[in-house]
Every structure is written in C-alpha cells, then in structure tokens.
Structure 1
Amino acid sequence: MAVERFQIQISDEVLDDLQYRLNHVRWPDQVEGAAWEQGTELSYLQSLVAYWRDHFDWRVQEAKLNRFSQFRSNIDGIDIHFVHERGKGPNPLPIILTHGWPDSYLRYQKMIPFLTDPAAYGGDPEDAFDVVVPSLPGFGFSSHPNRRGMNNYHVSEMWAKLMTQELGYTKFAAAGGDMGSGVTRYLAANHPELLVGIHLTDIGIIRDLVNAQDPSGLSEAELQYKKKAQEWLALEAGYISIQSTKPQTLAYGLSDSPTGLAGWMIDKFRAWSDCNGDLRQRFSEDELLTHIMIYWVTNTIGSTTRMYYENSRSLPPLGRIEVPTAVALFPADILLPPKEWAVRNLNITRWNAMPRGGHFTALEEPESLAKDIREFYRPFRTMK
C-alpha cells in the first residue's frame, strides 16, 4: 500500500475487557521489607493498578496521541506505523528517530515540537526538522512480523526504504537509543550515502569488551566498563536472558494479565530512569500507563520481546562507522560506554555528557536532548 493516514481507534470491547481484568486481579504476596529488591514492589503496583482501574482515561490519551500526523505504509510485507511532523522553518532537515524496549514511539512525543518548531521555544527556525518517528515492526501500531529474522539490521533496511522510497528524502539524519541505537548504527554502516550524520544516546552493551579474554590491551576506562557490565548483567539482566531465549513462554502470562504486563515494564522504567528510586519524580501515572496501554491494546508484548531473540542470533557483524556521529550520554543511563572504544568504532565528532537524565532520554529530558541534536546537525544542513 502507499502511505496512508492513520488514527488510533481502540474498540470499546478491548477497553471493557481490560476493565474486567483490572477488577479481578489475583495478587501475589511479597516478603516483608523487600521493597524493590526482588522486582516491582507490590504496594506501588497495587497503587498504579488502582489508578488505572478507577481514574485513567484512555480516550483522553488517545485523543492526545491523534494530534500527531500519523501514517502507515507497507514495507517488506509489514505495515509500519509512523509519525511524520513537518518542520516550521525555511529548510527543515529530515530526521528519523528510533525507539527501543520497553518504550515505544511515545519515547519521542515530548521532543517532537522542540525539533519541528524550535522558534516557538526560543530557538532558531533554521534548526527545524521534518521528524519521522516509526514504531518498530511488532511494536505498537506496526503489524507483527510473521517470519524469522526481524532484527536491528533488517529494520535499518526498512527505514532506508521508508525515508527514500515512501517519503522521498534523498539525504537525512537519524537518531536513536536502546534498540534504536542499533538500528541507527546499521543504517549508517550500510547506507552512509543517505545520512548526514547519526546521533546516539547509547551504544548498547559492548559485548567485545564484556567478553574480552585478554585485558592487557584495554584502557583503564575499558577495564572499568568490563567490570561494571559483568556486574550489571549478573544482577539486572534476567529480562535479557528470558527475552532472548524463551520470549514465547513469557508472552502467555504478559499478554493475558495487564497487571503482569505493568509489573514487567515498570521495573525497567524505575531502574533505568534518573528517578532516584521514585518513579513519580520523572513520570506521571498517565504517562506510564499510556506506554503500558500501547502494549496492551495492540497485544504486542510477545512480538516486541521477540526482537531480543532475533538480535541475539541473526545480527551480522557491524564494522567501523564512518558517518559523523554524536553521542549524548545521560548520567543515569545503563553502562555508559568508554570513549576510547567509541572513537575506535565510530567517527565521533561530538561527545557530550548531559547534566541529568537516564535511559528514557527524550521522555526524561526532551528539551536538552533536542538542543543537543540541533547543535550537532547545524553544520551538516548544507549537505542534504
């Protein structure tokens, strides 16, 4: 199909079914004094579910989401949902922003206005972007892949087609975090002719450092990274183990229980954000529940976790990237990469330590991230 307009319209039947399930939760117990030590805290989740059941209004959130210009287009047999907001400036630069897990295209909803209309926020209209924010295949309102091999590399090939064949851009920018960082790097590695530069908020888990057998060639920063990464993987990465080995087994429980789904996702929003252990410092209940609802109403927890399975098995090697690269590091993010490794493997032209924020960068610090993106791309605008 060609590019078609899209609006979110969840049926009353889906919402009524959700309400029934929220009214009939069977709660587990929790060890006294455990708090968040063994996972999502019982009292917090009970409070969130009570708000979800009694106060959260999906129709209000749905109307807000539908204010964005949304579309769908079939690429490689999959209907890809995306936001496409045009920039308000004399010569907007197109940019594609890619999210990860357990967030969605909503990761960038707060940041879009800062990029499309910088003048409205005290910026320069010359820095405006045409912003494209797709939902990864199997996420949100994109359709589910029905075959093997849907990994970061394959998605990057789909994004190249989306930007050039479907939207008609010949040169563009790209940015991302989490899975979106991997997709963006594969896009740069395999289609450098299309990109003016890439902007990353992380470089993922650097496995060649974690698994390095001979530490003699590693710098002090790389040795520290190796140690921290091994500790993090031992203590925090149980979700990676199950999602990259048995995602189907996990999907049954999380697809059937909205409370189970919320418990699985909330643990990560708390652990990975710059919230000092208090989610309310960073996110309102409405924000968190809207993210969870995107997974629930589309029944995509199975297809999203399956990306971990595919990425752990079918990704091709990724060589050095020559496209100009910016990295913005947020202090509370997971496993900040050593600069020496980044410089060896990417053409780093901007390396910026941000003052605050965690893994959900554009959700937590949309204005500062937008500013960093605008400043990085300013010299490249004549190249598109």
Structure 2
Amino acid sequence: MSSKKSSKGEKLKNEKKLEEPSSLGKYFIVFLVLGGLTAYSAYKYLSTPLEKPVLDLEQWWGPYPIDLKKDVSIRPYQIEFSDVIVNDLRERLLHSRPLTPPLEDVGFNYGFNTNYLTKVLDYWKNNYNFKEREQFLNKYKHFITNIQGLDIHYMHVKPKVSANVTVVPILLIHGWPGSIREFYEIIPKLTTVRPDQKFVFEVIAPSIPGFGFSQVRKYFLRFRTQETKHNPDT
C-alpha cells in the first residue's frame, strides 16, 4: 500500500511540475498582450495631432471703450536711448538702497546673488555704452502695428536674394521671459543662402505682449498671445 501511495504522490508532483511551465507561459502571454496594448495606446496618444484651437480673431485686448478708428497701419520703429532716459536710469542707480549681503557660499540658490548684482549695477552706471547698444539693436528693421487694440512691436528681416531663390517666411517667437534679442545671431544664418540650398528665410520676430516694445493690459492673464499674430500684413 505504501509503495502505491508513494508512486501516486510522485505522479502528482510530476504533474504539477509539468503544469508550472504551462502556467508561466500563460502569464507571459497575458503580460505580452497587455504590454502591446499599452504601447499601442501610448503611440496613438502621442502620434495623434492636437485639435486646432478655436481663436477669436476679433477679441479686443486694448483699453475700453473700443476704438474702431485705431491706427492699424504698419509704422517703422526706431529703438532710442535718449539722454533723458539714460540719465534718469543712472540717477536711480546712484540712489539705490544698500543691498542685503547674501549667505556664504550660496551662489544663486536663493535668488540673484547681491554680490554679483553690485557688479551689474556698477557696470550699468559707469561702463554700459547705450549708444553702441542702440546702434546694434537697430541693425534690423523694426515696426509697430496695432492688433486687436494692442500696439505690437516686431522685427521684419527680408533676405536679399535673386528671383530664382525661394523665400520662406518664418515666425520666431521668443520665450517667457525673453526678448527678440535672442535672435540677433541666428537671423543672418536664416536670411543668407547656403551653397547647397535654393531657399532662404524671411524672418518675422514679434515682441510678445508685455515684452520689449509691445503693449499689454492689466487683464493680460487671460490673454492668448497667438491671437495677436494673425495679422497677414506683418
């Protein structure tokens, strides 16, 4: 009897051992299917184009009451640092309040380091060449036009090319915070034809509302910058 029981026990053990790989195979298939479905869902989500936002291109962002006679022409703009502006700035810097010393060895971890800020203020007061910077900033053509109640400033740089070269317009929008100054070094590369290419870019670079020389209003938080960039004349 004991031999029969032991043989039955061994048989059951062998059957369980045979079932274990089969069970692992089933789990592997399930995980493989779930992984495939997850990967497919992620691919669909990432590759599906976003819906085009609905923009109100007639929304008024300027002061009220609405001025329907507002000048919407494109006007040349010249950046100018007048003596009045420069002297006023230097006067304010000369009478600035003493700065609180920073903690030791903190660098810029807790905000702008006031030891370094002292050097910046001294540079502005005594060494910054405003006239030289004015000439540099005006090396490209600047314009202002009114879009939906706000005066928007922008640079427009057209390439000088022959008729057989394709000119492609490109809109460069600076970051937040930032300014059109970010594009001064790249503009020549975009507007100059390379030997291996037959196209070149025509650059439009606006100052987003509230930056540079573009207007902004107090309710700017609900403002959508892209709604001011539809003017085809710019």
TM bucket (normalised to shorter chain) is 0.5 to 0.7
Task: Tell me the secondary structure at the aligned position of residue 208 of structure 2.
Answer: coil
Q: Is 1:3 aligned to 2:3, yes or no?
A: no
Task: Tell me the secondary structure at the aligned position of residue 115 of structure 2.
Answer: helix
Residue 130 of structure 1: CA displacement? 0.5
Q: Is 1:68 aligned to 2:143, yes or no?
A: no
Is the 8 Å Cα contact of residues 115 and 127 (structure 1) preserved in structure 2? Answer: no
- Alignment correspondent of 2:180: 105
| TM-score normalised according to structure 1 size | 0.39
Provide, for residues 266-300 of structure 1, a one-character-per-residue CA deviation record: whole Å limited to 9, x for no partner.
Answer: xxxxxxxxxxxxxxxxxxxxxxxxxxxxxxxxxxx
Is the 8 Å Cα contact of residues 8 and 66 (structure 1) preserved in structure 2? Answer: yes
Task: Tell me the secondary structure at the aligned position of residue 160 of structure 1.
Answer: coil
Is the 8 Å Cα contact of residues 88 and 128 (structure 1) preserved in structure 2? Answer: no
Residue from 196, 214, 226 that aligns with 1:156: 226
Q: Is 1:30 aligned to 2:102, yes or no?
A: yes
- Matched positions, count: 159
- Alignment correspondent of 1:308: none
1:90-239 to structure 2, matched below 5 A, reads 90-119=165-194, 123-124=195-196, 126-148=198-220, 150-151=222-223, 154-161=224-231, 164=232, 166-167=233-234
- Alignment correspondent of 2:117: 45
Provide, for residues 211-239 of structure 1, a one-character-per-residue CA deviation record: whole Å limited to 9, x for no partner.
Answer: xxxxxxxxxxxxxxxxxxxxxxxxxxxxx
Unaligned runs of 5+ in 2: 1-71
Unaligned runs of 5+ in 1: 168-384
Task: Tell me the secondary structure at the aligned position of residue 93 of structure 1.
Answer: strand
Residue 35 of structure 1: CA displacement? 2.2
Structure having the higher Rg: 2
- Alignment correspondent of 2:153: 81
Residue 116 of structure 1: CA displacement? 0.6
Query: Equivalent pairs: percent with the same residue?
Result: 32
Residue from 107, 116, 128 that aligns with 1:56: 128
- Hey, what's the Cα distance between the residues in 1 that align with 2:88 and 2:144? 27
Structure 1 vs Structure 2 CA RMSD: 1.8
Residue 28 of structure 1: CA displacement? 1.1
Between structures 1 and 2, the one with greater helix share: 1
Provide, for residues 106-147 of structure 1, a one-character-per-residue CA deviation record: whole Å limited to 9, x for no partner.
Answer: 11111111001143xxx5452310100000111111122354
| TM-score normalised according to structure 2 size | 0.62
- Hey, what's the Cα distance between the residues in 2 that align with 1:92 and 1:38? 47
Provide, for residues 11-69 of structure 1, a one-character-per-residue CA deviation record: whole Å limited to 9, x for no partner.
Answer: 32221111012222321122222222222222222122211211001111011111101
